């Protein structure tokens, strides 16, 4: 999912360089949404992994 966020970010940069403001804004908003979804899923994965193993070992 982080790959797709990076792809839409690159599309937004290229569209902005060529002056397509609407396309750039749309691609940037999609990239932002995908990035935040990735962050949430990553944090959930870390938390569930910590509970499965019984917490961190000190």
Give domain status of residue 28, yes or no.
Answer: yes
Q: Is the dihedral of CA 13, 16, 20, 26 positive or negative?
A: positive
Distance CA 31, CA 25 (A): 10
**Assessment of whether the complete model's pTM goes beyond 0.85:** no
Distance CA 12, CA 20 (A): 9
Distance CA 46, CA 50 (A): 6
6-56: pLDDT as tens digits: 888 888 888 888 888 788 888 888 888 888 998 998 899 888 887 887 656
Counting the structural domains of the chain, the total is: 1
Q: Which domain, by its residues, includes 36?
A: 2-51
């Amino acid at each position: 999912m982080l790959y797709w966020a990076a792809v839409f970010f690159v599309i937004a940069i290229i569209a902005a360089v060529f002056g397509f403001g609407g396309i750039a804004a749309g691609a940037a908003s999609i990239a932002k949404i995908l990035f935040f979804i990735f962050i949430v899923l990553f944090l959930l994965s870390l938390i569930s992994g910590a509970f499965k193993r019984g917490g961190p070992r000190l």
